Structure 1
Amino acid sequence: MLDPLIVSLPDGRRHLCHGPIDLVIEAWGAPEEVAAAHAQAEACFPTLLPRLAEELALLRRPVGENPTGPVAQRMRWACLPFSDQEFITPMAAVAGAVADEVLTVMLDQRRLEKVVVNNGGDIAFYLDPGARFSAELIANDETLEVAGRIEVTSDQRGRGLATSGRGGRSLSLGIADAVTVLADTAAAADAAATLIANAVDCTSSAIRRVPASSLDPDSDLGDLLTVVRVGPLRTEEVDRALAGGVARAELFKAQGLIEAAVLSLRGERRLVGAGPLSIEPAGSLTV
């Protein structure tokens, strides 16, 4: 396992990298408070990946036994509400859970106005009264095409944002170009985005699937069929696939598991549960 890398960026942010964990952290507040928050994050960071590695076998199994590490516990609790509905392992929330843990460490005994912990696009954030968080929405994980912007104010729910889809960092059972979810925590958003992206799917000869184990023998998906190629799709196939994802997102919204979701496939987008959020679409967005 390579040693962790911690770099101070010219704009005051910190870049923390260790194996698959790739964080950019930023804090706003009094200089001494920001410095202390950065130091707290840097002190805890080297322990995160080794603790996860110790329990990896458990985390790759369907949600069940309670792990002991702080990030692993966050992963389990984020996935638990979904586990009685469909197949999910704690690994569905790993990136978001890491972001949540580092955010919590940075806030410990600190007085800060705003904190953002970005783990490769899965983001945990804190907002003091009057602060706001905004981010671009990705329409395609491979091309990084922008779908629009989302803005959260301090009086609104949701402190975690995550994106999943085909072409991202993990294997996907669905064909979504990208699904972005806002939820109470980054871990919850991560788990929900994974499942909604899986539900963006249809039957088509343009879609090629292979067992996840043939791509990664250690994958938590085992022999489940994952998407490796999506050719040209007819308009009705895109609509049918997005409808499946919308149904899943609306269910999670009704259950209080997410605040909002944006689903993208082949230039078409669907928005679920925007509520008081300010979303400025770039292109076709159907509500």
Structure 2
Amino acid sequence: MGLTAHLLPDGQRLHLQHGPIDLIIGAEGQRRVAFEAAVARFETILDALVAELPALRAEMSQALAMPTGAVARRMHRAALGVPGDVFFTRMAAVAGAVADEVLAAMVSQAELARAFVNNGGDIALHLEGDAQFRLMMSDHTGRGLGRIVLRAGEGVGGIATSGRHGRSHSLGIADSVTVLAPCAAQADVAATLIANSVDLPGHPAIRRRPANALMEDSDLGARPVVAGCGPLTDAECARALGAGRRVADAFTAAGLITDAALFLHAHADLTDGPRLSVADKEPAHA
């Protein structure tokens, strides 16, 4: 599928799509200039990623060479410094890195009070002055889980969500994990790895299948991914979320993220930052 670009009916948001990449973009300020910059930068992103795809699907290690393309470099930088010894590939950052790259092109060309690039739920964000960004966290059915309220100057430039109901396969059982970070690529990696760690290894209610049996070219290879999760007790949910929270705390201590919200069945665990809250009613969209 070739690149498509069109304004949404509200006239204030731009929809860009090229192959599997699908972006919703908003801008307040020099909107036309920003949208033109977004289209121009988006034109070559997919081809550049495909050219380096085999290398980007390799297991991450400090020995890997820096990639060539701008988006791939963002993926590599986001993968550096990840705490602990855990398997992942730089593809864990791809959606966030694409969003970051398009947003950077917009901000470099236009004066903007507020702008965002939403790549399937992984969001790169720019705020100036008294601008705010509000949105709802929801589960795969659309039920509200909580809210996010961000203001300029808080050090948050990226939001990402991962879990077993997301676009990619997960090694863990989290329904969803939402992370706030300085950029979307960092949020993307962290959300993936925190969601992977919400788990109860060997539990009989959890069904797993090799990743490459579900998607032949998965960068996870034959590693078992979660294909279903049956009922769990409150104590089991708390134990699984606790494992994920320890990983979230490690990312926070390393300065890689600012906040995280972890959800499993009817249970939630939030880090201590003020920007996330569990829903008591549905908040407004941004």
Q: TM-score range by the shorter chain?
A: over 0.9
Structure 1 SS opposite 2:43: helix
1:267 is matched with which residue? 266
Q: Does the 8 Å contact 2:100/2:183 carry over to 1?
A: yes
Amino acid of the residue matched to residue 249 of structure 1? A
Q: Does the 8 Å contact 2:161/2:176 carry over to 1?
A: yes
Answering whether residue 167 of structure 2 is matched by residue 169 of structure 1, we say: yes
RMSD of the TM alignment (CA)?
1.4
Amino acid of the residue matched to residue 171 of structure 2? L
Cα distance in 2 for residues equivalent to 1:44 and 1:223? 35
Q: Does the 8 Å contact 2:259/2:276 carry over to 1?
A: no
How much has 1:76 moved relative to structure 2? Answer: 0.9
* Unmatched segments (≥5 aa) in structure 1: none
1:95 is matched with which residue? 95
Q: Deviations over 1:170-227 (max 9, x none)?
A: 0100000000000000000000000000010013101011111211221111121100
How many pairs does the alignment contain?
A: 276
Cα distance in 1 for residues equivalent to 2:83 and 2:2? 34
Regions of 4+ moved over 3 Å = none
Answering whether residue 49 of structure 2 is matched by residue 52 of structure 1, we say: yes
Amino acid of the residue matched to residue 190 of structure 2? A
Structure 2 SS opposite 1:115: strand
1:244 is matched with which residue? 243
How much has 1:44 moved relative to structure 2? Answer: 1.7
Q: Does the 8 Å contact 1:162/1:182 carry over to 2?
A: yes
How much has 1:165 moved relative to structure 2? Answer: 0.2
1:182 is matched with which residue? 180
* Unmatched segments (≥5 aa) in structure 2: 282-286
How much has 1:273 moved relative to structure 2? Answer: 3.2
Structure 2 SS opposite 1:108: helix
Please list, as runs of the form range in 1=range in 2, the aligned pairs for 1:94-113 lying within 5 A after superposition: 94-113=94-113
Q: Deviations over 1:56-96 (max 9, x none)?
A: 00010022221111111111111111176311211001110
Cα distance in 2 for residues equivalent to 1:113 and 1:52? 30
Cα distance in 2 for residues equivalent to 1:218 and 1:128? 41
Choose which of 135, 144, 150 in structure 1 pairs with 2:148. Answer: 150
How much has 1:280 moved relative to structure 2? Answer: 5.2
Q: Deviations over 1:150-182 (max 9, x none)?
A: 111112111100000001100100000000000
Amino acid of the residue matched to residue 76 of structure 2? R
Greater shift in the superposed pair: 83-92 or 57-66: 83-92
How much has 1:247 moved relative to structure 2? Answer: 0.8
Q: Deviations over 1:101-160 (max 9, x none)?
A: 00000011321111111111100010112111111112x2x2132111111111211110
Structure 2 SS opposite 1:173: coil
Percent sequence identity over aligned pairs: 48
How much has 1:27 moved relative to structure 2? Answer: 0.4
Q: Does the 8 Å contact 2:83/2:250 carry over to 1?
A: no
How much has 1:242 moved relative to structure 2? Answer: 0.6
Q: Does the 8 Å contact 1:17/1:23 carry over to 2?
A: yes
2:284 is matched with which residue? none
Q: Does the 8 Å contact 2:164/2:175 carry over to 1?
A: yes
2:70 is matched with which residue? 70
2:40 is matched with which residue? 43
Cα distance in 2 for residues equivalent to 1:248 and 1:156? 22
Q: Does the 8 Å contact 1:209/1:228 carry over to 2?
A: yes
1:223 is matched with which residue? 222
Cα distance in 2 for residues equivalent to 1:227 and 1:38? 39
Q: Deviations over 1:9-32 (max 9, x none)?
A: 121210001122110001001xxx
Structure 2 SS opposite 1:113: strand
Answering whether residue 208 of structure 2 is matched by residue 196 of structure 1, we say: no
Cα distance in 1 for residues equivalent to 2:85 and 2:180? 20
Greater shift in the superposed pair: 59-68 or 168-177: 59-68
Q: Deviations over 1:231-250 (max 9, x none)?
A: 11122211111111111111
Cα distance in 1 for residues equivalent to 2:35 and 2:249? 38
1:282 is matched with which residue? 280
